[in-house]
Chains A and B, each alone.
Chain A
C-alpha cells in the first residue's frame, strides 16, 4: 500500500467542480501505487513551472514486437524516482469498445499488479492505454495480456490500431458491418501492426455511415465510410407523423439539403435520389421516417492526417463505392499495392497523404493500378500545366495509332 505524500495545492483546485476530476483519479491510484504518487508530485511541479518533465521516448518493448510500448522517462527522476521509468502500453481494444465487466476486471488486475493503475479509456487512436510502468514489467504484462486474449496495439511507423464505430451492434444507419471489418483488418495486418516497417504510421478507421462517428475522414490514412447507392427508404406514414408532431419539414429538412434534391408539398416528401449526396442530414432529423437505401456498401477515402510534417489533410475519395463483404479481398489487394509503393518510394516520416501530394494523385493511381474517376476530385484542374503523355509523331497526324 502507498499513500499521497505530496502537497499539491495547484492540482487540488482541479478536484473541485462538477466534471469528473482526473486529479481524483491519480490520487486514488496513489493510494496503492508509489508510481502514481510520484506522478502527482511531478505534475504539480509542471503546474508550478508551466513545463513538462518527460524525456523523449526510448526504445523499449516486448520481444519480437517493434510497437505497442512507448518508452517514457522523467527528467526529474532525482525528485520523483518512482516515475524514472513511466512507459505507456497500448492494448488493442475490442472492436466498438464493447466490454464485459469480467474482461475489464481482468485488465484492471493485471495493471494493478504491474503498473501505476492509471489508464486512458481510451487513447486518441482507440487503444486501451496503460499509463506508467517500468521496463522489467513489460514481458510479464504482455504474457498475462495474451493469456487473457488481449494483444498490444500499434505505435511508431506501423499499422496503428484500427478503430470503428459501433455499427450494426447499435445503429440503424450502419451501411456495413464496421466491427466485423475492423476486427478482420486488425487480424489480417497483425505483422504490419506489431513490426514497424513503413515510412510512417498508417491508420484504418471504419465508420458505418457518412456521419463518421470515428472521424475517419480526418484521422485515418484509409477512411472506410459506409454509404448506399440506391434510393433512400421513406416511410410516408412516419413522415406525416413528424409533420403532425410539429417538425417543420420545409425549414428543418428541405432547406438544409445540400443538393436541394427534396421537395415537400405539405403532404408528401419527394426525393430526387439521383441528386442525393448521402449527407445524412434528413435521415438524422427523421430517423423513424427515413433510412439509407438497401444497396449498401462503403466509400473508401485515403490520406488524412494532422499537420506534422507537411500540413493537415482530409482523406479524399479513392473508391466511390464498394460492397463490404468478407474477406474484403478487393480492398486488401489495393492496400497491398499502396503499402508496397509507399514503402518503396515514400520518404522517412511521410504519410500516404503527403506522398500522394508529392507525386500527384494521377501518378499514384497509375502506380496502384486504379483508373482515375471524376468522384476523386472536387473539380477538375484549373491550371493548364498539364503533363500530356499522349501525342502524335510527325507524319502520323490523323492516323489511328497514338504514341504513348
Chain B
C-alpha cells in the first residue's frame, strides 16, 4: 500500500487562523468600536455596526490534561458555537454572542473549578516556566509556587479592587523562559553556589572553549586536572547564573540546601503613562519550601497589599515605587536593604543615586 501512504508534509506552518474565528469576528474583523468590562472576567466588544461579542475569561493551571481541554471544548460547544481562545497569560477565553449564556457558562466553569476574572484592575494568571515538572536547570518548581500564590491572591483575580493592573511572572532560573524581567512582581529561582565540576565527565560531554566563553564574568578558565583537560572556576567571580551549565551538563549548580527564590518588583511592558521598565530586586533570597512555599506566598501577598493600599489610581507597582522612592519603599515594606541590592554588573554606576532627591 505504498501508494496509499500519505506524502510526508513539512514546512506547512500553523493552520490559518481564519478557519477558527467565530462568525461575529469574521464579520467584524477590524471593525470593533469600543469595549466595556461588564463585571470581573467578562467584557463586551461592540462593533461599528452594533454587533456584540462577549468574552468570559477563566483561570487555567496552564499545565492541563487533554481531558481538561475536552472539558473546555464541551463548554465552547454548549455556549459558544465551539469557539474559544487562550490569552498571552494562559487564561482560557470563551467567546459568546448571546448575553444570556454568560451566567450559565460561569456557573459551569465554577463547577469545573475554574474561577472567572483577570480583566481590568486585577491580577491576571501568572506567566511561568516548567520547573521541576520538566526542566533540567530549574532552581525551584514553577507550577507549585504559582498554585500556592494564586490560592492566596485569588480574590484579586475575581474582583477589580486594585489601583491598576498587576502582572506576576515566575521563572525557575535566570534563563527566564517566563521573561519575568519586566513584571510588576517577578518570582525568580536562583542558585547561590558555584558549579560542582564533574571533571571525569566534562572532557567527554563539553567543549571547553564554549564553556569558558559562556561565563559573563570570566570566572571559568581552562585547566588540566589529574592529567585531563577540564576547567577551573574562580569562585569569587561566579554569580551563579548557570549559563555554563546550559552549555555543559558536567557543571551542575542545583543544590537543595542553597537554591531558592528571589523577588523582583516594578517592571512593566505596556507604554501606558510610564515607559516599559525592568523589574528590580526587592528580596534577594527566600527558601525553597515545598509544597506551598509559605515564605514566598507571604512575601508576595504583603507586597501586593502594600501596593494596593498606597498606590494611586492606575499606578503600576513600578510607577508607585518610583514616585515614593525606593528607600521609602524599603522602609514601608520592612525589607532590609543589603549588599545584594546594589548592582555590580555592567553599567552598574547608572543605577547609583546621583542626586539629593531623597525621602527621610
Contacts and interface: CB of A to CB of B under 8 A. Distances in A.
B88 A214 contact: yes
A175 B203 CA distance: 54
A317 to B, nearest CB: 12
A308 B269 CA distance: 19
A359 B274 CA distance: 29
Given A172-B45, A218-B182, A100 B20 contact: yes
A348 B181 contact: no
A258 B151 contact: no
Interface in A201-256: 210-219, 251-252, 256
Contacts of B62: 22, 120-122
A18 interface: yes
Contacts of B137: 52
B60 A20 contact: yes
A84 interface: no
Contacts of A288: 34, 36
A104 interface: yes
Given A100-B82, A308-B246, A95 B61 contact: no
A169 B15 contact: no
Contacts of A119: 63-66, 69
Contacts of A308: 174-176, 241, 243, 246
| Interface SS of B by simple majority | loop
A111 B69 CA distance: 12
Given A10-B290, A124-B178, A309 B20 contact: no
Contacts of A345: none
A19 B15 contact: no
B11 A258 contact: no
Given A149-B15, A252-B314, A280-B270, A17 B9 contact: no
Q: For this complex, into which size category does the number of interface residues on chain B fall?
A: 35 or more
Contacts of A285: 314
A64 interface: yes
A319 B131 CA distance: 37
B229 interface: no
B164 to A, nearest CB: 10
A88 B130 CA distance: 11
B63 A170 contact: no
Nearest to B75: A101
B88 A43 contact: no
Contacts of A163: 88
A118 interface: yes
Interface of A: 10-11, 13-14, 16-26, 28-29, 36, 39, 43, 46-47, 49-57, 63-65, 72, 86, 88, 92-105, 107-109, 111-112, 117-126, 131-132, 143, 146-147, 149-151, 163, 165-166, 168-172, 174, 177, 179, 183, 186-187, 190-191, 194, 210-219, 251-252, 256-258, 277-281, 284-285, 287-288, 291, 306-312, 314, 347-349
25 contacts: A10-B291, A18-B154, A19-B115, A22-B61, A28-B67, A46-B141, A47-B141, A51-B256, A55-B136, A97-B85, A98-B17, A98-B20, A102-B82, A103-B20, A104-B84, A121-B92, A124-B129, A143-B8, A172-B32, A190-B12, A212-B270, A216-B269, A218-B179, A306-B177, A312-B278
